[in-house]
Amino acid sequence: MSGQSFEELVDGMSQEVWYSMRRAVETGRWPDGRVLTREQRELSLQAVLAWEIRNQVPENERTGYVAPVACESHDHDHDREQPVTLRQPGEQ
């Protein structure tokens, strides 16, 4: 990052850079078609998420947002935590 801190990098990102980086994370490719390395994808995702928070992007427009599903049944315990395990593609 040529002497720049992560925070400075995020603060200096324009909306166009954020969008381009977001698309790269989604597709796994830079706009010129080159494949992102695992490290590039992880760091880019961190930068995208940090930018969204700093720029007060509405929660429902943020990367990874999943809308709550309306539940018509009253038999469920809505306050109970439901753990999620994230795995890399191909992991069992």
Q: Tokens representing 5?
A: 């801190």
Residues with Cβ within 8 Å of 46's Cβ and at least 6 positions away in sequence, in order, are 6
HEC profile for 20-68? HHHHHHHHCECCCCCECCHHHHHHHHHHHHHHHHHCCCCHHHCCCCCCC
pLDDT the model gives residue 65:
86
pLDDT the model gives residue 75:
58
Q: Tokens representing 92?
A: 């069992």
Q: Are 31 and 23 in contact (CB under 8 A)?
A: yes
pLDDT the model gives residue 63:
87
pLDDT (tens, 9 = 90+) of the chain, 92 residues, equals 557 898 998 999 999 999 999 999 999 999 999 999 999 999 999 999 999 999 999 888 888 888 888 766 655 555 677 777 767 666 66
Treating both helix axes as pointing N-terminal to C-terminal, what angle do 38-54 and 15-27 enclose, rounded to 10 degrees?
140
Global pTM reads 0.67
Amino acid at 25: V
